[in-house]
Amino acid sequence: MNSNSSRIFKLMIFSSTLLIVGCNIDKSVPNIELVQDMMESPALKPQEKDDFAPNGIAMREPVEGTLAVGYVKEPLADLTIAEKELKNPFAGDSSKDVLMTGQKFFVTNCSICHGIKGEGAVEAKSSVGELMPLKPPAINNEKITGWTDAHIYFVISKGQGLMGPYNHHIPQKYRWQVVNYIRHLQKEVKK
């Protein structure tokens, strides 16, 4: 055997030994974690505090200039401009499909603070809302019922107070359907 062949042979023996030792056949013995949190990294919830984030919360906004597929630029820099230029494409649409989609996104994203029926953190005894120093309001209070659809859409998109922005978590089309679902809930409470 020449020296090259010998090195290759030793390397193959060493590699196969590492492979056999690395494969844990006995499942009762836990794996050895050389670098902590590499096998199961700790996840942060969107509303959780994150000291490494620039805004202090785990919910991240995408890098500036990136756009989702099908994204249409909106005038969301200022509420007064947004209220003038934004029109609800589903205005007055109470069809089952629109309300079901709005409900799905409301329950997933909003109900944890505002309550499943939008009754607010105090009445709903929502798990997150109860712990907040400023309790999320009921969506049927006089202030919110007086808002335009564009105003509600703007708040969902950009956030307000302790509420973070959801413009990157709920697609545009579905945010309007959430607005319609909120209007539906407001009518249900009045009955």
Read off the pLDDT of residues 23-51 as tens digits, 9 standing for 90 and up: 656 667 666 666 666 666 667 776 778 88
**What is the CB neighbour count within 10 angstroms for residue 69?**
5
Gap between the Cα atoms of 155 and 161, Å rounded: 10
Q: Which of 2-6, 136-140, 181-185 has the highest mean pLDDT?
A: 181-185
Q: Which residues are paired to 163 by β-bridges?
A: 160
pLDDT number for residue 177: 94
pLDDT number for residue 125: 67
For the segment 82-131, what is each residue's pLDDT rounded down to a tens digit?
Answer: 888 888 888 888 889 999 999 999 999 888 888 888 888 667 666 677 77
Contact 178, 170 (CB under 8 A): yes
pTM to 2 decimals? 0.62
Phi, psi values for residue 120, rounded to 5°: 90, 160
Q: Give me the CATH code for the 79-190 domain, please.
A: 1.10.760.10
Phi, psi values for residue 34, rounded to 5°: -75, -40
**What is the CB neighbour count within 10 angstroms for residue 153?**
25
Gap between the Cα atoms of 127 and 34, Å rounded: 37
